[in-house]
Structure 1
Amino acid sequence: MVVQESGTPRELEHHLRPSTVKGIDFDQLLEPLAATAHGAANKRPITGVSLNPQIVQPGDVFLAISGAKRHGAEFLDTAIANGAVALITDEAGLNLLAEPASIPVAVVSDVRKIAARAASMVYGTAKNCPELLAVTGTNGKTTTTFMIRAITEALGLHAGLVGTIEMSARGQIIPSVLTTPEATQLHGVLARMNEQEISTVAMEVSSHSLSYGRVDGLQFAVSGYTNLTQDHLDLHGSMEDYFQTKAQLFTSGHSQRAVVMVDDSYGQRLAQNASIPTESLSLDAHTNADWHVVNIAPSVLGHQFTIVHRDGREIHARTGLPGLFNVANAALATVMVLASGVALEQLQEALKQADPLSVSVPGRMQVIGESPVAVVDFAHNSDAIAKALESMRVTGQGRRIIVFGATGDRDKTKRPDMGAVAARHADIVIVTDDDPHGEDPEPIREQVAAGAQAVIDAERAAVQLFNIAPRAKAVEFAVSLAGVQDAILVAGRGHEVSQDVAGIDVELDDRVELANALKLHGFVTIY
């Protein structure tokens, strides 16, 4: 039975930590951090670490950093009221203290850079941690980590998961706020998983987590790469910076071994330049990869396939998830588990008996109906939209219908391209709202629709284009146009259950809306 934890962030915080911590003296903590102590010595042991004063637990050292608008030191009183017994901050934070603090204070040059090390020392993760398998890339991280967890469990081992949708171990699920939690929480939850005798943890590692040092202090047994396409340029500025950030994972400071998909130019560069033992993997028979995926054949909605090494080793597998990109995800998960030291014969038997690569992933090519085919997917960039649409099988004279939008307050340059890609791969394009955030949603839709219209004018005159809001109305309109031979893709939000409109969370679940619309128009649903 799966348990869904709920509560305030502070109430949930104790689920991100081991149940017991021996504790460490403040002075013992400071020396390796090159910190300068101020005020009285601390006599109480440090049993936790937090960057957020709102979720501080009794016995924590509070790490006060400079934020985008405020400095954490301004909220020291809140941290103390919640149980903080010591403070580490920078010179700016120290200068913000109106009077000597009632708890010991230490100063470092960069608080965020020492956060992971401090948490590792308090929670003991440097010596006691499950085996870690990391997955990075633009698309496919979530599905691949779910598959790794499923394979691990099929092998009869206890597995953990840290990612976009959830953090989980032994049937307990804690909703994730970030793709990768803050360094302090990450070390805490890994210590908890070790306490629960979790053998392997599959973890999504985003470019944000690498940029902000959230995975510092961790050593991954195997790191995997899926692909790299335009995304997050609001953070990185350029694709080259985006790539170089991802490449940090494939160094000895972070990982012991790597498995890299080389079906894009970035993967090829990564495999060639990686400074750790690396195996390459490809769906393209013409690439010079260590592993190739061959004999790909349809199997219900998914595919069966064989993964072949240049030395003759073979792994036979299948996935029930639609799309060749899920074949790539499944192959990557399989080879990563093999690279972690599992015997090939043992792995093959687990794949045969448990079918772990067909694991259901919330909001990732999640089938809501079969006639018409109706799918919800997280695809929120051009490459993911193209691949998701290509994977949608239609029968006879069936059409591909897509409902999607672009996120506000994010990279604006990809909006018209998303529209263009949709018009090239779908027969009916319905542009609607995603998460507008602080932007006016109408101009966002118009920018996306403009890209679609340009393709219609130049290449595909038969494509129908609609601009419809709100999103629920757009989903229902898509179903109203569909026949049993068609395929509907609702893209961009996946597992998310609320829509951010001008800072207000509006309840919205694409899976629920699509299921309701199918029922309304007389179709059968499986959700």
Structure 2
Amino acid sequence: MTAASSRLGDLVAALPLTPVPDNPPGWEDLTVHGVRSDNRRVGGGELFAGHGGAHVHGARYARDAVGAGATAVLTDPAGAELLAREGSLGVPVLVAEDVPALLGELAAAVYGRPAEALGTFAVTGTNGKTSTVYMLDHALRSLGRTTGLIGTVEVRVAGRSEPAVLTTPQPADLQALLADMVATGVTDMSMEVSSHALGLRRVDPVVFDVAGFTNLSQDHLDYHGTLEQYFAAKASLFAPARSRRGVVVVDDSWGRRLAETAAAERPGAVASLSVQGHDADWRVTEITGEGQGHTFTLIHRDGRRLRTGTGLPGGFNVTNAALAAAMVLTSGVEPDRLEASLAAAGGLTPVIPGRMEQLADFPRVIVDFAHNPGALQQAVDALRATTAGRLVLVFGATGSRDRGKRPQMAQVAVDGADAVVIADDDPHDESPDQIRAELLAAADAHRPGSQVREIGNRAEAIRTAVLEAAEEDTVLVAGRGHEKIQEVAGVDHHLDDREEVRAALALRPGRAGGSAR
């Protein structure tokens, strides 16, 4: 993709950038073809941005970036002092007071503002972001669009896929990715936008065509501090500077608050949606089906209606599907056209790695990313209602994160499951024994005498649960979903819950994995 404003002199004229006094002669006419904040991703011709970090200043990697082909460097005053002490880099150096705040705008200018050439959809919320984004992508593809997807699991560009590093990429990486999408012929892009990304301004200056809000419950308080601050970060996606229109699910108090605020501040720009009977612009009615899917009708106050469905289990997936459909309709697609295209595509039923992913039928074994109280409650409720035998839950809690949600997760587990196996999740730098002890203590305090076992080794815990399950049972392996790396004390270990489930199924007597999917 051709950059629209990549001459350094043009960038300095347009943005609050200051060249250092000893830049090489003629630096203003130098052209940069990209922006990178990771020296390992420099390929040649880019501007390298090095700013202050949690442990080390990024300017320390500037010389490596130049060695890899960076033709200019952006840093902050502290970084400029560091570079001055180390001697000339031989390339122009620009200085900004707040590099992270400027980086998205700078990268957008260098890459030619690619977001403006795409239909853009963003989803935020505690739970359901990934599923809704996959449903959005599925709906758009059913309409014949060429799509891009950015999320927790992967990044897709016109059918090409690679694993995601962050739920929402860093600002310069996001703009580079959007430029790649435009160059590849993508017409519409759907992405998850995390509260961290909003707080750190990773998506700026993108103004999304349609934003969606799923729900809000306790999560990430280790970063945000309070639910109020967490909500404020999520709500910022619906400000005019970040989205043109929006759809907000109002089936929890946070969604209702967001919709009411948006209605007052931006009349007509943000629509409400309810599955549970609340007064809303979009309402879901005529829900039919159970177990492995539902059909439903989505009706707007103005009379527009759509009949569709999803084959994914759980009432919460009706909400996710309805939100995805409402967002596509809000973008200007006619209901009749979307209904016909989804009918031909099998409804809103994409394959979503690690999201209520069913790997076997008898016993039913499901891997889900549920890693907070709200998501775990939803998954347990959905499976409890459709399980003929016992519901067996394997779960743990992430270390070095919000400890306040652990007792709540333990309560959900013992209230909803017939048998619980507490195993390690991602301990990070926290003692795995201590994490399990907290969960066990909370479970026992809430419901003494519950069938709770502790098997720290996650692979062993999964194997035990699957091998002991009867054919009419359901085994839910919750917490890690699609993840393939387990971090313990700073060391990464390969661990994929889905692989462990399949290996355990193959060991079931007389089955040879015959019930596996």
In structure 2, the residue corresponding to 1:392 is in which secondary structure? helix
Cα contact 1:519–1:525 (8 A) shared by 2: no
Q: Paired residue for 2:9?
A: 27
Paired position in structure 2 for 1:7: none
Code of the residue aligned with 1:281 in structure 2: it is L
Instruction: Tell me by how many angstroms 1:186 deviates.
Output: 0.6
Name the residue aligned to 1:36: 18
Write out per-residue CA displacement over residues 318-339 of structure 1, whole angstroms, 9 at most, x where no aligned residue.
1110101111000000000000
Kindly report the root-mean-square deviation, in angstroms, between the aligned alpha carbons of the 2 structures: 1.5
Please tell me whether residue 169 in structure 1 is matched to residue 161 in structure 2.
Answer: no
* 1:397/1:86 CA distance change after superposition, 3 Å: closer
Matched, 1:296 2:287: yes
2:187 aligned with 1:209: no
Structure 1 stretch displaced more, 51-60 or 387-396: 387-396
Deviation at 1:475, TM superposition (A): 0.6
Partner residue, 2:270: 278
Q: In the alignment, what sits opposite 1:3?
A: none
Structure 2 residue identity aligned to 1:453: D
CA deviations on 1:422-473 (whole Å, 9 max, x unpaired) are 111111011000011111101001111222112222xxx5x31001120010
Alignment check: 8 A CA contact 1:374 1:488 kept: yes
Deviation at 1:382, TM superposition (A): 0.6
Specify which of 515, 519, 522 is matched with residue 502 of structure 2: 515
- Deviation for aligned residue 1:100: 3.2
Gaps of 5+ in 1: 1-17
Among 84, 95, 104, the alignment partner of 1:116 is: 104
Q: Does structure 1 conserve the Cα–Cα contact (< 8 Å) formed by 2:421 and 2:455?
A: yes
Q: Does 1:365 align with 2:356?
A: yes
* Residue aligned with 1:347, SS: helix
**TM-score between both structures, scaled by the size of structure 2:** 0.95
Unaligned runs of 5+ in 2: none
Code of the aligned partner of 1:400:
L
Rounded to whole Å, the distance in 1 between the matches of 2:385 and 2:97 is 59
Greater shift, 98-107 or 178-187, is seen at: 98-107
The answer on whether the counterparts of 2:308 and 2:343 sit within 8 Å (CA) in structure 1 is yes
* Deviations, residues 278-312 of structure 1 (Å, cap 9, x unaligned): 11111111x11111112222255111111122333
What residue in structure 1 maps to residue 126 of structure 2? Answer: 138
Cα deviation, 1:67-93, whole Å, max 9, x if unaligned, reads 001111111110110111111111111
CA contact (8 A) 1:515 1:525 kept: no
Question: For 1:357, what is the secondary structure of its paired residue?
Answer: coil
- Equivalence for 1:525: 515
Match of 1:500 among 479, 484, 487: 487
Q: 1:183 to 1:395 in 2, by over 3 A?
A: closer
Residue aligning to 1:15 = none
**3-state SS in 2 of match to 1:281:** strand
Residue pairs, 1:30-429, within 5 angstroms: 30-38=12-20, 39-40=22-23, 41-42=26-27, 43-97=29-83, 98=85, 99-125=87-113, 128-274=116-262, 275-276=265-266, 277-285=269-277, 287-299=278-290, 301-393=292-384, 398-429=389-420
Please give the alpha-carbon distance, in whole angstroms, between the structure 1 residues aligned to 2:387 and 2:374: 26
Q: Write out per-residue CA displacement over residues 174-211 of structure 1, whole angstroms, 9 at most, x where no aligned residue.
A: 21100010110111111111122211101100011111
In the TM superposition, residue 160 of structure 1 has moved relative to its aligned partner by 0.9
Structure 1, 300-309 or 383-392: larger mean CA deviation: 300-309
1:482 to 461, 469, 477: 469
Offset, 1:481:
2.6
Distance of 1:76 and 1:244 partners within structure 2? 35
The one-letter code of the counterpart of 2:64 is T
Amino acid at match of 1:196: T
Alignment TM-score, normalising by the size of structure 1? 0.93
The alignment of Structure 1 onto Structure 2 pairs a total of residues equal to 504
Secondary structure of 1:402's counterpart equals strand
User: After superposition, what is the alpha-carbon deviation per residue over 1:97-121, rounded to whole angstroms, capped at 9, x for unaligned?
Assistant: 2223311111111000110011011
Separation in 2 of the partners of 1:415 and 1:127?
Answer: 39
CA contact (8 A) 1:371 1:485 kept: yes
How far apart are the structure 1 equivalents of 2:240 and 2:486?
40
For the 8 Å contact 2:103–2:172, the answer to whether it is kept is yes
| Contact 1:126–1:217 (CA under 8 A) maintained in structure 2 | no
Partners of 2:326 and 2:355 in 1: how far apart?
Answer: 21
Corresponding residue for 1:14?
none
Alpha carbons 1:162, 1:203 under 8 Å: kept: yes
Q: Which residue is equivalent to 2:456?
A: 469
* Alpha-carbon distance in structure 2 between the residues aligned to 1:353 and 1:300: 22
Work out the percentage of aligned pairs sharing the same amino acid: 44
Call closer, same or farther: CA 1:371–1:406 in 2, change over 3 Å: same
CA, structure 1 residues 167+404, in 2 after alignment: closer, same or farther (shift >3 Å)? same
Q: Which runs of 4+ in 1 moved over 6 A?
A: none
Task: Provide the C-alpha distance between the structure 2 equivalents of 1:316 and 1:262, rounded to a whole number of angstroms.
Answer: 21
CA distance in 2 between partners of 1:444 and 1:127 (Å): 42
Name whichever of 438-447 and 306-315 sits farther off: 306-315
**Per-residue CA shift, 1:203-222, capped at 9, x if unaligned?**
10001111111100101000
Pair 197,413 (structure 1): closer, same or farther in 2 beyond 3 Å: same
